[in-house]
A = this chain, B = another copy of it.
Amino acid sequence: MSMHDVNRPICIIGLGLIGGSLLRDLEYRDQEVFGYNRSTSAARSAIKQGYDVSDDLDTVLRRAEERGALIVVAVPMHAVGEILDRIVELAPSCGITDVVSVKTHVLDMIRERGLESRYVGGHPMAGTSESGWENSRRDLFHRAAWAITFDYAQELDARGERVPQSWIDVFTDVTKMAKLTSAEVVPVRVEAHDGAVARVSHLPHVFAEVLAVVGDNGGILAQSLSAGSFKDSTRVASTDPDLVRQMLEPNAPALVDALDEALALLQETREKLASAHPDVSELTDAGFRARTRLEARSGARKESVSPVKISSRPVIRLHVGAPRWVAQLRQAESLGGRIDVF
């Protein structure tokens, strides 16, 4: 076990695209990991591939409790409450994280059950339009942002109270787990997270669905004439529609805000196009500048010629639990920075 390993076994509940890919990465890195999948056939397929997987939730959770595992909740939003109830009953002392794309709603469920002191929320910003164990793969999270929430520590810090060591240990282990997948850990509070992903993930999903429908309304001629711009901009519309609902609906308040911003811009553009002298230069200039900034700031730098890509996210080195460490988390959040813990 190296210094990068997580100091306890990891138990993944739900082995779809995200949970399954995490299981593969952790196993590959020799991290002790086991998991549960509701689907018997998917569980069997995973066992055949040599993974420590079961379709019996209670047994898996009891084992997590016995081994003091860190539990990763990796089921769709609608199933999270039920899983948390089982954890309360069968794994009452385990640390908990999750990989669900909307964090406010999960934190509400955590609070309802009094689990805040052993919960650190997570959300890896990676995925494909496919889903399920059969599409999971190693290296899905490579260089992706892995958002990790710290609302509990922030609340205690604001009241001048000390963050308990047990929560610090969960935070440290979730961070290490994410790093084992080569993701970049970005600390963020749930409200800031949900507002940001409404803009950069959930709104793009809504737009992709709408574009697909409007394109399809043009019939087979429009489909035949569609090229790269249409395919790219509608790609995520091929995601399982139920999974898309599980992202959009729980984040409705933040998504409505983002959508209202977008609607104002679209309405303005519509009026300009409908005028006697159409001029959309304001939109095209603003969009171009925004996209240029995005390229400069997100993930690995494209222009790097070195085979070792350099992340453009600033790095904050953090001594977890040391004085002012929560202030450092806030600073990292404000910069979209990644953290290194030691």
Interface residues, chain A, with chain B CB atoms under 8 Å away = 125-128, 144-145, 147, 186, 188, 192-193, 195-197, 199-201, 203-242, 244-245, 248-249, 252, 255-256, 258-263, 265-267, 269-270, 273-274, 278-281, 283-295, 297-298, 313, 333-337
In Å, the complex CA distance between A335 and B272 comes to 33
Taking a contact as CB atoms under 8 Å apart, the answer to whether A210 and B262 are in contact is yes
9 contacts between A and B (CB under 8 A): A199-B214, A201-B230, A204-B234, A213-B265, A215-B294, A216-B290, A231-B294, A238-B291, A256-B273
Does A200 lie within 8 Å of B230, measured CB to CB?
A: yes
Query: Copy number in this complex?
Result: 2
- Cβ A286 vs Cβ B232 within 8 A: no
Task: State which of B220, B225, B241, B260 has its C-beta within 8 Å of the C-beta of A197.
Answer: B225
Indicate which residue in B144, B274, B295 contacts A252 across the interface (CB closer than 8 Å): B274
Q: How far is the CB of A23 from chain B (nearest CB, A)?
A: 20
Choose from B195, B221, B290, B333 the contact partner of A188 (Cβ within 8 Å): B221
Report whether B212 and A294 are in contact in the complex, using a CB–CB cutoff of 8 Å.
Answer: yes
Determine the residue in chain B with the shortest Cβ distance to A285: B241
A205/B229 contact (C-beta < 8 A), A287-B237, A288-B238 known: yes
Q: Quick one: which of B235, B262, B293 contacts A211, CB cutoff 8 A?
A: B262
- Contacts A226-B200, A259-B273 given; indicate if A244 touches B291 (C-beta within 8 A): no
| CB closest residue in chain B, given A311 | B224
Q: A236-B233, A288-B238 are in contact. Are A200 and B218 (CB under 8 A)?
A: yes
Is there an interface contact between A223 and B278, defined as CB atoms closer than 8 Å?
Answer: no
**In the bound complex, CA of A205 to CA of B223 (Å):** 16
When distances are taken between beta carbons in the complex, the residues of chain B under 8 Å from A193 are 225
